[in-house]
Amino acid sequence: MIKPEQFKFFSQLVKDSSGIALSTGKEYLLESRLNELCKVLGLKNIDSLYQQAKFKMTPKLKEQIIEAMTTNETYFFRDQHPFDTLKNHIIKELMEKNQSKKELRFWSAAASTGQEAYSIAMIIQEHFPQLANWKVEILGTDISRQAIEKAQAGRYTQVEVNRGLPVTMLIKYFKQQGAFWIAQDKLKKLVHFKTFNLLNPFIGLGQFDCIFCRYVLIYFDQETKKKITDKLVKVLRPGGYLFFGATETPVGLDPSMKRVTFGKTVCWKKAGG
Ligand SMILES: C[S@@+](CC[C@H](N)C(=O)[O-])C[C@H]1O[C@@H](n2cnc3c(N)ncnc32)[C@H](O)[C@@H]1O
Protein backbone atom coordinates (compact mmCIF):
# COMPACT_ATOMS: atom_id res chain seq x y z
CA MET A 1 0.00 0.00 0.00
CA ILE A 2 1.33 3.45 -0.95
CA LYS A 3 2.41 5.41 2.15
CA PRO A 4 0.45 8.58 3.05
CA GLU A 5 3.46 10.88 2.56
CA GLN A 6 4.11 9.29 -0.83
CA PHE A 7 0.48 9.75 -1.86
CA LYS A 8 0.66 13.38 -0.77
CA PHE A 9 3.90 13.96 -2.68
CA PHE A 10 2.85 12.33 -5.96
CA SER A 11 -0.71 13.67 -5.96
CA GLN A 12 0.58 17.21 -5.39
CA LEU A 13 3.14 16.80 -8.17
CA VAL A 14 0.48 15.54 -10.58
CA LYS A 15 -1.99 18.31 -9.60
CA ASP A 16 0.60 21.09 -9.96
CA SER A 17 1.88 19.85 -13.31
CA SER A 18 -1.31 18.70 -15.04
CA GLY A 19 -4.32 19.78 -12.98
CA ILE A 20 -5.32 16.13 -12.53
CA ALA A 21 -6.76 15.95 -9.01
CA LEU A 22 -6.21 12.72 -7.11
CA SER A 23 -8.41 13.04 -4.07
CA THR A 24 -8.27 10.75 -1.06
CA GLY A 25 -9.66 7.40 -2.14
CA LYS A 26 -7.58 7.43 -5.36
CA GLU A 27 -4.60 5.78 -3.63
CA TYR A 28 -5.24 2.53 -5.49
CA LEU A 29 -5.20 4.28 -8.89
CA LEU A 30 -1.98 6.14 -8.11
CA GLU A 31 -0.35 3.01 -6.75
CA SER A 32 -1.23 0.79 -9.70
CA ARG A 33 -0.14 3.38 -12.28
CA LEU A 34 3.15 4.05 -10.44
CA ASN A 35 3.81 0.33 -10.09
CA GLU A 36 3.54 0.06 -13.89
CA LEU A 37 5.98 2.95 -14.24
CA CYS A 38 8.41 1.27 -11.82
CA LYS A 39 8.44 -1.79 -14.11
CA VAL A 40 9.21 0.40 -17.14
CA LEU A 41 11.99 2.20 -15.28
CA GLY A 42 13.41 -0.99 -13.79
CA LEU A 43 12.80 0.27 -10.24
CA LYS A 44 12.10 -2.16 -7.40
CA ASN A 45 9.02 -0.45 -6.01
CA ILE A 46 7.27 2.84 -5.25
CA ASP A 47 9.67 3.51 -2.37
CA SER A 48 12.55 3.67 -4.89
CA LEU A 49 10.52 5.86 -7.24
CA TYR A 50 9.65 8.17 -4.35
CA GLN A 51 13.31 8.51 -3.35
CA GLN A 52 14.28 9.31 -6.92
CA ALA A 53 11.40 11.75 -7.51
CA LYS A 54 11.86 13.54 -4.19
CA PHE A 55 15.64 13.90 -4.23
CA LYS A 56 16.79 13.40 -7.84
CA MET A 57 13.86 14.61 -9.94
CA THR A 58 14.54 15.25 -13.64
CA PRO A 59 12.19 16.81 -16.23
CA LYS A 60 12.04 13.41 -17.95
CA LEU A 61 10.99 11.58 -14.79
CA LYS A 62 8.38 14.22 -14.04
CA GLU A 63 6.96 13.80 -17.54
CA GLN A 64 6.88 10.02 -17.10
CA ILE A 65 4.98 10.33 -13.82
CA ILE A 66 2.42 12.68 -15.43
CA GLU A 67 2.13 10.38 -18.46
CA ALA A 68 1.49 7.48 -16.11
CA MET A 69 -1.39 9.35 -14.49
CA THR A 70 -3.21 10.41 -17.67
CA THR A 71 -6.17 8.35 -18.85
CA ASN A 72 -6.05 8.30 -22.64
CA GLU A 73 -9.32 6.44 -23.23
CA THR A 74 -10.85 7.56 -26.55
CA TYR A 75 -12.41 6.17 -29.69
CA PHE A 76 -13.63 7.24 -33.11
CA PHE A 77 -16.92 9.20 -33.21
CA ARG A 78 -17.20 8.98 -29.41
CA ASP A 79 -20.89 9.35 -28.45
CA GLN A 80 -21.72 9.72 -32.18
CA HIS A 81 -24.37 12.47 -31.77
CA PRO A 82 -21.91 15.40 -31.36
CA PHE A 83 -20.43 14.43 -34.74
CA ASP A 84 -23.93 14.20 -36.26
CA THR A 85 -24.58 17.68 -34.88
CA LEU A 86 -21.38 18.95 -36.48
CA LYS A 87 -22.44 17.43 -39.78
CA ASN A 88 -26.11 18.42 -39.75
CA HIS A 89 -26.00 21.86 -38.15
CA ILE A 90 -22.79 23.42 -36.95
CA ILE A 91 -20.43 23.18 -39.92
CA LYS A 92 -23.11 24.58 -42.25
CA GLU A 93 -23.68 27.50 -39.89
CA LEU A 94 -19.95 28.16 -39.49
CA MET A 95 -19.51 28.06 -43.27
CA GLU A 96 -22.12 30.78 -43.70
CA LYS A 97 -20.45 32.84 -41.00
CA ASN A 98 -16.94 32.44 -42.48
CA GLN A 99 -17.96 32.55 -46.16
CA SER A 100 -15.86 35.62 -46.91
CA LYS A 101 -12.60 34.48 -45.32
CA LYS A 102 -13.05 30.80 -46.25
CA GLU A 103 -11.39 29.51 -43.10
CA LEU A 104 -12.52 27.03 -40.41
CA ARG A 105 -10.50 26.13 -37.34
CA PHE A 106 -11.31 23.28 -34.95
CA TRP A 107 -9.50 22.36 -31.76
CA SER A 108 -9.53 18.96 -30.11
CA ALA A 109 -8.16 20.23 -26.81
CA ALA A 110 -7.55 16.90 -25.07
CA ALA A 111 -6.98 14.91 -28.22
CA SER A 112 -5.38 11.84 -26.66
CA THR A 113 -4.32 9.52 -29.51
CA GLY A 114 -6.14 11.51 -32.19
CA GLN A 115 -9.39 9.65 -32.84
CA GLU A 116 -11.51 12.74 -32.06
CA ALA A 117 -9.56 14.99 -34.48
CA TYR A 118 -9.60 12.33 -37.23
CA SER A 119 -13.36 11.87 -36.71
CA ILE A 120 -13.89 15.61 -37.37
CA ALA A 121 -11.62 15.32 -40.44
CA MET A 122 -13.74 12.42 -41.76
CA ILE A 123 -16.95 14.44 -41.31
CA ILE A 124 -15.41 17.22 -43.38
CA GLN A 125 -14.04 14.99 -46.13
CA GLU A 126 -17.17 12.88 -46.36
CA HIS A 127 -19.85 15.57 -46.26
CA PHE A 128 -18.36 18.94 -47.18
CA PRO A 129 -16.64 18.80 -50.59
CA GLN A 130 -17.35 22.56 -50.81
CA LEU A 131 -14.63 23.05 -48.19
CA ALA A 132 -11.92 21.72 -50.54
CA ASN A 133 -10.78 25.25 -51.39
CA TRP A 134 -11.10 26.55 -47.80
CA LYS A 135 -8.37 26.73 -45.24
CA VAL A 136 -9.55 24.04 -42.80
CA GLU A 137 -7.46 23.14 -39.79
CA ILE A 138 -8.10 20.69 -36.97
CA LEU A 139 -5.57 21.14 -34.19
CA GLY A 140 -5.23 18.27 -31.73
CA THR A 141 -3.35 18.85 -28.48
CA ASP A 142 -2.71 16.80 -25.37
CA ILE A 143 -0.38 16.88 -22.39
CA SER A 144 0.75 13.33 -23.17
CA ARG A 145 3.71 13.19 -25.55
CA GLN A 146 3.17 9.48 -26.16
CA ALA A 147 -0.47 10.05 -27.09
CA ILE A 148 0.44 12.90 -29.44
CA GLU A 149 3.15 10.86 -31.16
CA LYS A 150 0.59 8.16 -31.85
CA ALA A 151 -1.91 10.75 -33.11
CA GLN A 152 0.72 12.19 -35.46
CA ALA A 153 1.46 8.74 -36.83
CA GLY A 154 -2.29 8.17 -37.28
CA ARG A 155 -1.56 4.49 -36.79
CA TYR A 156 -4.20 2.33 -35.13
CA THR A 157 -4.66 -1.33 -34.31
CA GLN A 158 -7.60 -3.40 -35.50
CA VAL A 159 -9.09 -3.19 -32.00
CA GLU A 160 -8.84 0.60 -32.06
CA VAL A 161 -10.47 0.99 -35.47
CA ASN A 162 -13.19 -1.45 -34.45
CA ARG A 163 -14.17 1.08 -31.79
CA GLY A 164 -16.56 3.52 -33.44
CA LEU A 165 -15.26 3.56 -37.00
CA PRO A 166 -17.71 2.19 -39.61
CA VAL A 167 -15.98 -0.23 -41.98
CA THR A 168 -16.86 1.91 -45.02
CA MET A 169 -15.03 4.87 -43.47
CA LEU A 170 -12.12 2.67 -42.43
CA ILE A 171 -11.55 1.48 -45.98
CA LYS A 172 -12.03 4.92 -47.48
CA TYR A 173 -9.81 6.90 -45.10
CA PHE A 174 -7.20 4.46 -43.77
CA LYS A 175 -4.70 2.17 -45.46
CA GLN A 176 -3.74 -1.20 -44.06
CA GLN A 177 -0.09 -1.75 -43.18
CA GLY A 178 0.54 -5.15 -41.64
CA ALA A 179 -1.47 -5.34 -38.43
CA PHE A 180 -2.15 -1.57 -38.43
CA TRP A 181 -4.38 0.93 -40.14
CA ILE A 182 -2.81 4.30 -41.08
CA ALA A 183 -4.78 7.50 -41.68
CA GLN A 184 -4.58 8.52 -45.33
CA ASP A 185 -3.14 11.86 -46.44
CA LYS A 186 -6.63 13.22 -47.16
CA LEU A 187 -7.19 13.15 -43.37
CA LYS A 188 -3.64 13.96 -42.31
CA LYS A 189 -3.57 17.16 -44.39
CA LEU A 190 -6.46 18.54 -42.28
CA VAL A 191 -5.10 17.70 -38.83
CA HIS A 192 -2.03 18.57 -36.92
CA PHE A 193 -1.02 17.64 -33.44
CA LYS A 194 1.22 19.03 -30.73
CA THR A 195 1.71 18.62 -27.01
CA PHE A 196 0.03 21.30 -24.96
CA ASN A 197 -0.85 21.56 -21.29
CA LEU A 198 -4.26 23.12 -20.65
CA LEU A 199 -2.85 24.67 -17.45
CA ASN A 200 -0.54 26.88 -19.56
CA PRO A 201 -1.54 30.25 -21.03
CA PHE A 202 -3.34 29.79 -24.35
CA ILE A 203 -0.74 31.71 -26.34
CA GLY A 204 0.10 31.03 -29.98
CA LEU A 205 -2.88 28.80 -30.63
CA GLY A 206 -4.96 31.40 -32.49
CA GLN A 207 -8.75 31.56 -32.51
CA PHE A 208 -11.13 28.68 -33.19
CA ASP A 209 -14.62 28.26 -34.63
CA CYS A 210 -15.29 25.06 -32.72
CA ILE A 211 -13.58 23.52 -29.70
CA PHE A 212 -13.97 19.96 -28.47
CA CYS A 213 -12.77 19.76 -24.87
CA ARG A 214 -14.28 16.43 -24.01
CA TYR A 215 -13.76 14.00 -21.15
CA VAL A 216 -10.88 15.89 -19.57
CA LEU A 217 -12.55 18.39 -17.21
CA ILE A 218 -13.68 15.41 -15.12
CA TYR A 219 -10.10 15.02 -13.91
CA PHE A 220 -9.81 18.60 -12.59
CA ASP A 221 -11.10 20.36 -9.48
CA GLN A 222 -13.64 23.18 -9.73
CA GLU A 223 -11.07 25.97 -9.67
CA THR A 224 -8.98 24.41 -12.45
CA LYS A 225 -12.12 23.69 -14.53
CA LYS A 226 -13.17 27.33 -14.26
CA LYS A 227 -9.72 28.64 -15.22
CA ILE A 228 -9.56 26.36 -18.25
CA THR A 229 -13.10 27.07 -19.47
CA ASP A 230 -12.46 30.84 -19.16
CA LYS A 231 -9.39 30.44 -21.38
CA LEU A 232 -11.32 28.27 -23.87
CA VAL A 233 -14.01 30.96 -24.22
CA LYS A 234 -11.32 33.58 -24.95
CA VAL A 235 -9.90 31.64 -27.91
CA LEU A 236 -13.35 30.89 -29.35
CA ARG A 237 -14.45 33.16 -32.20
CA PRO A 238 -17.76 34.99 -31.80
CA GLY A 239 -20.51 32.61 -32.94
CA GLY A 240 -18.21 29.63 -32.27
CA TYR A 241 -19.17 26.40 -30.49
CA LEU A 242 -17.73 24.63 -27.46
CA PHE A 243 -18.30 20.95 -26.65
CA PHE A 244 -17.69 19.13 -23.37
CA GLY A 245 -18.12 15.43 -22.61
CA ALA A 246 -21.62 14.17 -21.87
CA THR A 247 -20.91 13.88 -18.14
CA GLU A 248 -19.21 17.26 -17.85
CA THR A 249 -21.21 20.31 -16.82
CA PRO A 250 -19.21 23.52 -16.84
CA VAL A 251 -19.61 25.65 -13.73
CA GLY A 252 -19.63 29.43 -13.98
CA LEU A 253 -19.19 29.51 -17.74
CA ASP A 254 -18.71 33.04 -19.11
CA PRO A 255 -22.06 34.81 -19.71
CA SER A 256 -21.16 35.23 -23.40
CA MET A 257 -21.79 31.47 -23.75
CA LYS A 258 -25.31 30.27 -24.44
CA ARG A 259 -26.38 26.66 -23.91
CA VAL A 260 -27.67 25.18 -27.18
CA THR A 261 -29.22 21.77 -27.80
CA PHE A 262 -29.48 19.81 -31.04
CA GLY A 263 -31.40 16.61 -30.23
CA LYS A 264 -29.23 14.75 -27.69
CA THR A 265 -26.31 17.15 -28.10
CA VAL A 266 -25.74 19.88 -25.57
CA CYS A 267 -23.10 22.43 -26.54
CA TRP A 268 -22.29 26.11 -25.93
CA LYS A 269 -22.34 28.93 -28.44
CA LYS A 270 -20.44 32.18 -28.03
CA ALA A 271 -22.41 35.37 -28.58
CA GLY A 272 -21.76 37.47 -31.69
CA GLY A 273 -20.48 36.40 -35.05
C1 LIG B 1 -10.11 10.54 -21.56
S2 LIG B 1 -9.06 11.37 -22.71
C3 LIG B 1 -10.25 12.18 -23.74
C4 LIG B 1 -9.94 12.07 -25.20
C5 LIG B 1 -10.96 12.67 -26.16
N6 LIG B 1 -11.17 14.08 -25.91
C7 LIG B 1 -12.27 11.93 -26.12
O8 LIG B 1 -13.26 12.52 -25.69
O9 LIG B 1 -12.32 10.78 -26.53
C10 LIG B 1 -8.43 12.67 -21.68
C11 LIG B 1 -7.12 13.27 -22.20
O12 LIG B 1 -6.84 14.47 -21.47
C13 LIG B 1 -5.44 14.61 -21.40
N14 LIG B 1 -5.09 15.58 -20.36
C15 LIG B 1 -5.14 15.44 -19.01
N16 LIG B 1 -4.70 16.55 -18.40
C17 LIG B 1 -4.37 17.43 -19.38
C18 LIG B 1 -3.84 18.75 -19.38
N19 LIG B 1 -3.56 19.40 -18.25
N20 LIG B 1 -3.62 19.34 -20.57
C21 LIG B 1 -3.88 18.69 -21.74
N22 LIG B 1 -4.38 17.44 -21.80
C23 LIG B 1 -4.61 16.82 -20.63
C24 LIG B 1 -4.96 13.20 -21.12
O25 LIG B 1 -3.61 13.02 -21.46
C26 LIG B 1 -5.92 12.37 -21.99
O27 LIG B 1 -5.35 12.02 -23.22
pLDDT at 268: 98
At a CB cut-off of 8 Å and minimum separation 6, what does 178 contact? none
pLDDT tens by residue, 62-92:
999 999 999 999 999 999 999 999 999 999 9
pLDDT tens by residue, 165-177:
999 999 999 999 9
Confidence of residue 23 (pLDDT cuts 50, 70, 90): confident
pLDDT at 103: 98
User: 4-69 with 81-270: one CATH topology?
Assistant: no
Phi, psi at residue 76, to the nearest 5°?
Answer: -65, 140
177: amino acid identity, one letter: Q
Rounded to the nearest whole angstrom, what is the distance from the C-alpha of residue 162 to the centroid of ligand 1? Answer: 21
pLDDT at 117: 98
pLDDT at 206: 97
pLDDT tens by residue, 193-223:
999 999 999 999 999 999 999 999 999 999 9
Closest CA to 7 of 53, 64, 42: 53
Is the per-residue pLDDT at 22 higher than 80?
A: yes
Phi, psi at residue 197, to the nearest 5°?
Answer: -100, 125
pLDDT at 19: 98
Is the per-residue pLDDT at 24 higher than 90?
A: no
Rounded to the nearest whole angstrom, what is the distance from the C-alpha of residue 73 to the centroid of ligand 1? Answer: 8
The mean pLDDT value of the chain amounts to 97
Which residue of 29, 119, 142, 228 sits with most ligand 1 atoms within 8 Å of its CB, as the best mutation to test the pocket? 142
- Which residue has the least CA distance to atom 2 on ligand 1? 72
Any residues with Cβ below 6 Å from ligand 1, and which?
Answer: 18-20, 70-74, 78, 110, 112, 116, 142-144, 147, 197-199, 214-216, 219, 245
Is the per-residue pLDDT at 107 higher than 90?
A: yes
pLDDT at 142: 98
When pLDDT is averaged across residues 182-190 and rounded to a whole number, the result is 98
Asked whether the beta carbons of 174 and 182 are under 8 A apart, the reply is yes
Is the per-residue pLDDT at 150 higher than 80?
A: yes
Rounded to the nearest whole angstrom, what is the distance from the C-alpha of residue 25 to the centroid of ligand 1? Answer: 21
Q: At what angle do helices 59-69 and 27-41 cross, to 10 degrees?
A: 130
- Sheet-wide strand order for 174-177: 155-157, 180-183, 174-177
Is the per-residue pLDDT at 129 higher than 90?
A: yes
Q: What is the fold of 4-69?
A: Chemotaxis Receptor Methyltransferase Cher; domain 1 (1.10.155)
- Of ligand 1's atoms, which has the minimum distance to the CA of residue 18? 19
Rounded alpha-carbon distances, angstroms, from residue 247 to 131, 177, 266: 32, 36, 11
Q: Where are the domains positioned within the chain?
A: 4-69, 81-270
Asked whether the beta carbons of 115 and 75 are under 8 A apart, the reply is yes
When pLDDT is averaged across residues 234-255 and rounded to a whole number, the result is 94
Closest CA to 234 of 252, 211, 214: 211
Q: How many CB atoms lie within 10 A of CB 42?
A: 7
Phi, psi at residue 131, to the nearest 5°?
Answer: -85, 0
Is the per-residue pLDDT at 251 higher than 90?
A: no
Confidence of residue 149 (pLDDT cuts 50, 70, 90): very high
When pLDDT is averaged across residues 179-196 and rounded to a whole number, the result is 98
224/189 Cα distance (integer angstroms): 33
Closest CA to 131 of 103, 107, 157, 173: 103
Rounded to the nearest whole angstrom, what is the distance from the C-alpha of residue 76 to the centroid of ligand 1? Answer: 15
- The C-alpha torsion from 149 through 154 and 157 to 159, rounded to 10°, is 100
CATH number assigned to the domain covering 81-270: 3.40.50.150
Phi, psi at residue 262, to the nearest 5°?
Answer: -130, 100
- Which residue has the least CA distance to atom 16 on ligand 1? 18
